[in-house]
């Protein structure tokens, strides 16, 4: 079965926004054993969309379309689909009922613009959108089945799982080969150095594939395969993942795609331990990552985002003499910040960052990219100093935060 993907929208066409939907859809289809041949992107013009649909219908068995299902005047995908199919748009009562229920549940009024969204091409099957108002739909033209989904990534992803993939599953039937991917999250090597550590993978596992992706500063290693037996494939992927872990050692953060913050949270929970932090250069990013994980209040108590020196002293009790003698960016300050956070919040662990994210603030002795990390625990306190060469504020904040969390992760692994 050959699939194509169509992304619509002016913001994507003119490059204001990077299209992440196409990659997500391609990955999920490929995992199911559907070959994706092309992605195409056009703007929001009626002609541009309907022409693209007509072309794709002559080449593919399956097309997934995103975008242009919203309530505003630039949302023209339903009309374009109707034009391509040579039918009219009519009010779809199932879609309208679902939208009315959605608005009632939220106590919000439904507008005429919203009502317009329920007008679908004749012959289209409505697809429920559990997380938004834009209804999706399915439409067959000739030999090709089209699925129309909203462009908002969260809504698109949900509907792909609930409406598109189960429908495809039925259509594909059994038996057929399954595709699976194992995602190793790693930290501490560059992409090319990670690849070199895993040289020889191809000859040891000729039946599997391997790919690398930068989710800065983490490097994801994806091991993927396809087999008629899911059990056989899983055990083969286990074997390959074990081999990769042996080569990469402690640099492997998780075997499940879980992020550094999720892994650190899981370790704290496993130890029944609590954490407080003091963040200068990471500016709240570590706390934000930790509190993205549901249930994090079980182990995360406090982070003092102490941008000003006065706050370091007032909130964490960092002595002014330390700041004056060693400077705010120093291992000595990082150490007292970690101890202060731990003491103030009464936790088992205290983790602190102080550094220079840039673009300003660097010096010959402490250039942009310098970070000092303090880690206070049940058995004492340590401090570390690193320098990273990225010269970019956002990258520095991220690599500082992951490096600090990695120090805590490694300490928790030893216990």
Q: Smallest distance, Å, CB 11 to a copy of itself?
A: 5
Cis previous bond, 79, omega within 30 = no
Closest by CA position to 183, among listed 264, 256, 259, 258: 256
Site for a copy of itself in 186-205 (CB under 8 A): 190-196, 201-202
Nearer to a copy of itself, 125 or 191 (CB): 191
Q: Smallest distance, Å, CB 53 to a copy of itself?
A: 13
Roughly how many angstroms between the first and final C-alpha of the chain, as a whole number? 51
Phi and psi, residue 402, nearest 5°: -70, -35
Judged by CB under 8 A, the stretch of 77-85, 109-117, 262-270, 375-383 that binds a copy of itself is 109-117
Q: Is 183 in the site for a copy of itself (CB under 8 A)?
A: yes
Other CB atoms closer than 10 Å to residue 360's CB: what's the count?
8
Site string for a copy of itself, 231-270 (x = CB under 8 A): ----------------------------------------
- C-beta of residue 346 within 8 angstroms of C-beta of residue 275: no
Dihedral angle sign, alpha carbons of residues 90, 93, 98, 101: positive
- Kindly state the tokens that stand for 260: 């550094």
Judged by CB under 8 A, the stretch of 26-34, 85-93, 137-145, 370-378 that binds a copy of itself is 26-34
Q: Smallest distance, Å, CB 80 to a copy of itself?
A: 15
Site string for a copy of itself, 48-67 (x = CB under 8 A): x---x---------------
Q: What order of strands is seen across the sheet that includes strand 218-227?
A: 209-215, 218-227, 178-186, 252-254
**β-pairing, 349-355 with 252-254?**
unpaired
Site for a copy of itself in 375-394 (CB under 8 A): 389, 392-394
Q: Smallest distance, Å, CB 235 to a copy of itself?
A: 21
Site for a copy of itself in 79-108 (CB under 8 A): 105-108
Q: Which residues have C-beta within 8 Å of that of residue 396, sequence separation ≥ 6?
A: 281, 355, 356, 357, 358, 368, 369, 371, 388, 390
Quick one: which of 265, 350, 358, 377 contacts a copy of itself (CB under 8 A)? 358
Q: Smallest distance, Å, CB 127 to a copy of itself?
A: 19
CA distance 26 to 217: 24
Site for a copy of itself in 131-170 (CB under 8 A): 131, 133, 152, 154
Q: Is 213 in the site for a copy of itself (CB under 8 A)?
A: yes
Q: Smallest distance, Å, CB 287 to a copy of itself?
A: 3
Quick one: which of 26, 63, 168, 248 contacts a copy of itself (CB under 8 A)? 26
Nearer to a copy of itself, 59 or 122 (CB): 59
Q: Which residues have C-beta within 8 Å of that of residue 412, sequence separation ≥ 6?
A: 264, 267, 268, 271, 273
CA angle 86, 89, 91 (to 5 degrees): 155
CA angle 399, 401, 405 (to 5 degrees): 115
Query: Any idea which residue has 């074997």 for tokens?
Result: 239
Q: Smallest distance, Å, CB 123 to a copy of itself?
A: 26
Quick one: which of 18, 206, 272, 365 contacts a copy of itself (CB under 8 A)? 18
- Kindly state the tokens that stand for 310: 């006065």
Q: Is 397 in the site for a copy of itself (CB under 8 A)?
A: yes
Quick one: which of 28, 236, 251, 407 contacts a copy of itself (CB under 8 A)? 28
């Amino acid at each position: 079965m050959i699939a194509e993907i169509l992304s619509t929208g002016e913001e994507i066409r003119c490059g204001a926004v990077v299209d992440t939907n196409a990659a997500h859809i391609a990955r999920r289809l490929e995992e199911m054993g559907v070959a994706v041949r092309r992605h195409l992107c056009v703007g929001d013009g009626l002609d541009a969309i309907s022409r693209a649909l007509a072309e794709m219908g002559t080449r593919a068995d399956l097309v997934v379309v995103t975008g242009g299902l919203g309530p505003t005047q630039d949302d023209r995908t339903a009309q374009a689909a109707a034009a391509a199919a040579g039918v009219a748009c009519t009010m779809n009562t199932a879609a309208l009922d679902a939208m009315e229920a959605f608005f009632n549940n939220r106590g919000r009024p439904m507008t005429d613009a919203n009502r317009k969204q329920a007008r679908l091409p004749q012959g289209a099957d409505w697809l429920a959108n559990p997380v938004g108002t834009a209804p999706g739909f399915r439409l067959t033209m000739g030999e090709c089945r089209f699925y129309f989904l909203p462009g908002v990534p969260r809504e698109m992803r949900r509907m792909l799982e609930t409406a598109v993939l189960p429908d495809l599953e039925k259509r594909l039937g059994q038996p057929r080969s399954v595709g699976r991917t194992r995602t190793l999250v790693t930290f501490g090597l560059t992409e090319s150095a990670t690849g070199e550590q895993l040289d020889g993978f191809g000859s040891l596992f000729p039946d599997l594939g391997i790919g690398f992706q930068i989710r800065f500063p983490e490097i994801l290693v994806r091991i993927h395969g396809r087999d008629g037996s899911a059990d056989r494939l899983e055990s083969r992927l286990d074997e390959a993942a074990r081999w990769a872990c042996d080569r990469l050692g402690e640099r492997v953060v998780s075997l499940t795609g879980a992020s550094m913050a999720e892994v650190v949270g899981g370790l704290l929970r496993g130890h029944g331990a609590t954490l407080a932090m003091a963040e200068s250069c990471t500016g709240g990013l570590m706390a934000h990552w930790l509190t993205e994980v549901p249930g994090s209040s079980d182990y995360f108590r406090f982070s003092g985002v102490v941008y000003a020196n006065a706050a370091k002293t007032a909130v964490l009790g960092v002595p002014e003499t330390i700041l004056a003698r060693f400077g705010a960016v120093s291992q000595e300050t990082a150490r007292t910040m970690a101890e202060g956070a731990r003491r103030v919040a009464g936790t088992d662990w205290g983790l602190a960052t102080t550094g220079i994210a840039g673009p300003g603030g660097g010096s010959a002795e402490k250039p942009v990219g310098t970070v000092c990390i303090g880690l206070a625990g049940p058995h004492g306190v340590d401090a570390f100093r690193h320098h990273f060469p990225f010269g970019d504020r956002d990258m520095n904040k991220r690599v500082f935060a992951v490096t600090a969390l990695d120090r805590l992760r490694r300490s928790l692994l030893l216990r």
